[in-house]
Copies of this chain bind each other. A is one copy, B any other.
Amino acid sequence: MIQRLIQKIQETKAPICVGLDPMLGYIPDHILHASFKEFGETMEGAAHAIWNFNKEIVDQVWDLIPSVKPQIAMYEQFGVEGLKVYEKTVRYCQEKGLLVIGDAKRGDIGSTSAAYATAHLGKVKVGGALCSAFHTDFMTVNPYFGTDGVKPFVDVCKEEDKGLFVLVKTSNPSSGEFQDKKVDGRPLYELVADKVVEWGEGCMDGEYSNVGAVVGATYPEMSAVLRKQMPHTYFLVPGYGAQGGTAKDLRPCFNQDGLGAIVNSSRGIIAAYKQEKYAKFGPAHFAEASRQAVLDMAADIGSVL
């Protein structure tokens, strides 16, 4: 699977992932009003608006990028109606040829992780039939339970040729509270990184493993250390743009070959029309603003590679 991602990154020359994390506050009024008019101010109305918003953005950016990363929390808050649109978005993006990273950050004891792995990457047996639920290409995983909580995800990657990004060092301000704590002189996230390398060894796909890592753009010195420690691990890098990470901060996440990382931007792309820089597009052309923001992001990252 990671080779499919690399190939698409090389084709598009854009190591970029657009975060489809729709908040209702990002959606232009004309879309909200139309959906509320049809379905009322209900979960169904919200979900309908999210779908129209997502579709317009995907239609504008699909040819520029290798992948999208829908954050499932943004759909889950609208309950079953929201999750229907999550599913629909995943399938639509895949039809457009995009690889989909389900940002679910699941993790639990072994038998429960196995159910999550099935839900997002695998197939579930129903009588004599095999069915699949959310069917993403990659998913994000939380490592707090240790090996037996991560192994079921790794197993599904092997069986189904899928990929993971395991949280190593996250982009948020208080990520250091536990992740940076020193264990025998080394920060905890380096111990997690060692395990991610170990989990990924049985999952190699060319030069890189199907078991990747989440490494925030907001801590570039730490990214540099992790890059050396994990030469065959792909990084999913959140924190660029709205969270404060710059293109210069991203450089240490990449290997010398220009590969090794894919950078996510969510509101910086999907709500671009709300920025002064893209205000000329206006709410009616919000998705064209997103397209321009993707082009600008690709140029910005290209300038440091």
Interface of A with B (CB < 8 Å)? 21, 24, 32, 36, 40-43, 45-46, 71, 73-74, 76-80, 82-84, 87, 105-110, 112-113, 115-116, 118-120, 124-129, 131-134, 142-149, 167, 170-179, 181-184, 188, 191-192, 195, 238, 243
Distance in angstroms between the alpha carbons of A62 and B73 in the assembled complex: 31
Per a CB cutoff under 8 Å, which of B83, B124, B174, B179 touches A80? B83
Distance in angstroms between the alpha carbons of A173 and B113 in the assembled complex: 14
Q: Which residue of B lies closest to A39 (CB)?
A: B126
Establish whether residues B84 and A80, one from each chain, have CB atoms under 8 Å apart when the complex forms.
yes
- Complex CA–CA separation, A188 to B109 (angstroms): 18
**Subset of 13 A-B contacts with CB under 8 Å:** A46-B131, A73-B106, A76-B120, A77-B118, A79-B83, A80-B80, A109-B172, A145-B172, A146-B178, A146-B179, A149-B172, A181-B183, A183-B188
Bound-state CA distance A143–B177 (Å) is 10
CB pair A76–B110 under 8 Å, yes or no, is: no
A133 with B78: CB separation less than 8 A: yes
Nearest chain B residue, comparing its CB with the CB of A128: B41
**Within the complex, what minimum Cβ distance (angstroms) separates A129 from chain B?**
4
A102 to chain B, nearest CB (A): 11
Q: Which residues of B contact A176 (CB under 8 A)?
A: 146
Contact residues in B for A173 (Cβ distance below 8 Å): 148
Asked if B116 contacts A76 (CB within 8 A), the reply is yes
Smallest beta-carbon distance A47→chain B, Å: 10
With a CB–CB cut-off of 8 A, which chain B residues contact A87?
79-80
A115 to B147: give the CA distance in the assembly, Å: 28
Would B192 and A178 count as touching, CB distance under 8 A? yes
* Complex CA distance for A55 and B174, rounded to whole angstroms: 42
Chain B positions within 8 Å of A120 at CB level: 76
Cα A171 to Cα B78 with chains together (Å): 31
Q: Which residues of the other chain, B, contact A36 by a CB distance below 8 angstroms?
A: 126-127
Which residues of chain B have C-beta atoms less than 8 A from A145's C-beta?
170, 172, 174-175
Q: Which residue of B lies closest to A267 (CB)?
A: B111
Given A110-B172, A143-B144: A188 in contact with B195 (beta carbons within 8 A): no
Measured between beta carbons, the chain B residues less than 8 angstroms from A125 are: 24
Q: Which 5 A-B pairs have the closest CB atoms?
A: A146-B177, A79-B133, A41-B127, A146-B174, A73-B115
From known contacts A118-B77, A178-B192, infer whether A127 and B32 are also in contact, taking CB-CB under 8 Å.
yes
Residues of B within 8 A of A144 (CB): 142-144, 167, 170, 178-179
Q: Which residues of B contact A119 (CB under 8 A)?
A: 73, 76-79
Contacts of A109 in B (CB 8 A): 170-172, 238, 243
**Closest CB of chain B to A184's CB: distance in Å?**
8
Closest B residue to A192 by CB, please name it: B178
Partner of A142 from B71, B107, B146, B182 at Cβ < 8 Å? B107
